[in-house]
Amino acid sequence: MRGLTVPPFPTIPALHAAYATGQDPRTVVAEAYRRLAAVDDPGIFLALVPEAEAQAAAAALPFFDPVSMPLWGVPFAVKDNIDVAGLPTTAACPDFAYTPTETAPAVARLLAAGAILIGKTNLDQFATGLVGVRTPYPAPRNAIDPAYVPGGSSSGSAVAVAHGIVTFALGTDTAGSGRVPAALNNIVGLKPSLGAVSSRGMLPACRTLDTLSVFAGTVADADAAFRAMLGFDGADPWSRALPVPPAPAGLPPGLRLGAPDAANLRFCGDGLSEAAFAAAIADLETLAGAAALVDFAPMFAVAALLYDGPWVAERYAAIRPIMEMRPEILHPTTRAVIAAAGRYSAADAFAGLYRLAELRRDIDAIWDRVDVLAVPTYPRPQTCADLVADAIGPNSELGTYTNFVNLLDWCALAVPGRPRADGFPSGITLLAPRGSDGLLAALGARLHAASAGRIGSGESPVPAAEPGPVRARPGEIELAVVGAHLSGLPLNHELAAHGARYLRTVATRPEYHLYALPGGPPHRPGLLRVAGDEGGAIETEVWALPPAAFGAFVAAIPEPLAIGTLRLADGTAPKGFLVELAGATGATDITRFGGWRRYVASRSAA
C-alpha cells in the first residue's frame, strides 16, 4: 500500500493525479477522519460511517479507472434528510428518526461512480431555514469565522467541504439552502435544474420546488458530482428528462449578462458586501462584457409568495402528521414557521399559483435579452448574535436573492467572489433558465478563478479555469454552423433543444463563398466550397451533439441546404452546413463580411 500526502483541499483532479501513480485511497479516507477530529466541531455530522467501513469501501474499489468511475476514491458527505441504507435519517429531529433500508438513487449513483461516503451532515430541521442553526444538535460552526452563522439549511455539508474533510457534499435546495451556506463558507454551491436529479429518498420540504444540490471546493468538482447523479428516474414523479448539455469548452460568443439595477440592489447598509459584489461584477464583465441592468421587483414579488404566501402550506403538508399529532418534537422556530400555514386556505393556494403564473410570464421575457443573471448570494452575512436577537428576520434577509429561483424554475450556481475588505468571503450567484447548468459551470469556473482566492477555510488556491476540450468527446459528433444557429441568433435554441454543447469558434480555410439565399426566411445563409484561392475564410461555431440528436437535427434541414464536411483553419474537418450549387443561383455573395454575424450586423446598421 502506497500512501499519499493529501492536498490541503482534495479536489478530484489532485486526488486522481495521485491515484494514477498507484497511491492508495485508504490514505485519503484516513485523512478525512483525521481532519474531522482536528476541526473538533461536533455539529458537522449527525452520523458517521465507521472509519473501518469507509476504509473497506476504498479497498474494494476496482482498478483505478476515472473514465468509467469519474469519482473513484473521492470522499463525500450527504445531508441528513437524504436516505442512505443503514444510516439513520433524522432531518435534525431525533424523535422523527428512522433507518432506511434503501439508498436514495442519487447517492447510489455517486457510490457507483466510485465516491466514498464519510457520513451524514447536520441541517436546519426539516430543511426549514437559511441560517444553519435551527437544530436540536450542536450547530455547525462557520468554517471561516464562528461568529457568523454557517448558513442553512445545508449547514453541515457546507462546513464539511469548507474544511477539506470531504471533496464534495450533497445538500438540498428549496429556497437557497444549496447556495447561502456555500457563500458563507467560501465554497461553490450548485443548484441543479429542477427534476434533473432524482429526488427519491429525499425528505421533502416543498416537493414541487425541492432539488438535491452539491457543495464543492471548485466548480469543476461540483459539476462532476452533478453529472454523476444526472438522469431521469421514472419512479420519481418529479423527475424530468431534461436536456442538460455539459459545460461548453469556452464561453459562447455574444454571451449576454444581466444584473440588478441600482434600485434593486439590497445590502442593508453593508458597504463591505456592496463593494465586494461590485468587484465580482467587474470580474464578470471582464470575462463576458457589460451586464444589462434588470428590474428585479417582479422576482422579489415571486419570493414573497414562498413564506408570506401559500407555499408555506406545502412545508406543512410535508410533515403534516407531526404538526397535527406531535408538534412538541419540533425545534421552536421550525414549528413557528410552518404553523403559519394555518393562515391560508385552499383558495389561497390557487390564488398563489395564479399570481405566480402571471409573474413568471412577465419575468420570462428577461431571457429574450440576457442569457445569465448575476446576483449577490445574500445581502450581508449574519452573526450568531443576530439570531439570538431575532430568529426570523436575519433568515428572511439571507433569502433575498434566492427565494424566487426555484419558483421560477431556474438553475443556479453560487461561487465565491473577491472577499470583503474585512477578509470575510462574499458570494455571487449566476442564474439561468432550466437546462443551462453547463453554461453556468463554464462561466462560474472562470469567475471563481478570477477571484484569486482560496478554497474554503484553507490555503489551497482556486485553480485556474481549465479551457476544457476544444474537440468533441468520444461518442459525440462535431457540427459546424455558419448562420442563424450561431450563439445569440434566432435558431441557436434548436441546438440547445438537442443537447448540443459549444466547443469553439474557428474560421474555415479560405476556400468558401458565403451567400444570402433568396426566398424563404431572411436568416438563410449558404456556404459553398470553391476551387483554389477564389474563396474566403468564413466564421463558424463548432458544437458537439450525441449521435441520436445529430440525426434528429439533420433530418429537419430543408433544401437546398445540406450537411457535408467542412475544412477549418484549425485543421479539423467537422460536419457542417453547405449549400447545393444550384441553391446559390440568384443568391447574394456576402463572402466579404467573413461571416453571417457581421453580415446581419451590417444590415441592422443600415
Q: Which three cell numbers stand for residue 212?
A: 438535491
Q: Strand ranges (DSSP E) for 356-409?
A: 372-376
Work out whether strand 512-516 and strand 525-529 pair parallel, antiparallel, or are unpaired. antiparallel
Instruction: Answer yes or no: 153 catalytic.
Output: yes
Given the residues 153, 154, 213, 487, the one annotated as active site: 153
SS3 386: helix
Closest C-alpha among 207, 146, 152 to residue 179: 152
Instruction: Answer yes or no: 426 catalytic.
Output: no
Task: Return the ∠ at Cα 208 (arms to 393 and 220), rounded to 5°.
Answer: 80
In the chain, the amino acid numbered 257 is L
Beta bridge partners, 47, equal: 120
SS3 258: strand
Dihedral of CA 268/270/271/273: which sign?
negative
The torsion angles phi and psi of 17, rounded to 5 degrees, stand at -65, -40
Beta bridge partners, 575, equal: 479, 565
Tell me if 353 sits within 8 A of 240, measured CB to CB.
no
- Under 8 Å CB-to-CB from 357, ≥6 apart: which residues? none
DSSP 470-501: SSPPTT-EEEEE-STTSTTSTTHHHHHHTT-E
Residue recorded with cell 450527504: 78
CA distance 149 to 139: 9
SS3 421: coil
Closest C-alpha among 110, 157, 193 to residue 440: 193
Tell me if 174 sits within 8 A of 127, measured CB to CB.
yes
Residue recorded with cell 483554389: 532
CA distance 150 to 172: 15
Closest C-alpha among 68, 72, 67 to residue 24: 72
CA distance 570 to 562: 22
Instruction: Answer yes or no: 155 catalytic.
Output: no
CA distance 433 to 493: 12
Given the residues 177, 239, 436, 451, the one annotated as active site: 177
- The half-sphere exposure of 19 on its side-chain side, counting CA atoms within 13 A, is 26
Q: Which three cell numbers stand for residue 117?
A: 461516503
Q: What is the DSSP letter of 319?
A: T
Q: Does residue 460 have a cis bond before it (omega within 30 degrees)?
A: no
Closest C-alpha among 530, 528, 498 to residue 515: 528
- Whole-angstrom CA distances from 409 to 361, 371, 429 are 12, 15, 15
Residue recorded with cell 463593494: 275
What is the b/e burial string over 485-514, where b = at least 16 CB atoms within 10 angstroms of the residue's CB? bbbebeebeebbebbbbbbbbbbbbbbbbb
- Kindly list the catalytic residues: 79, 153, 177
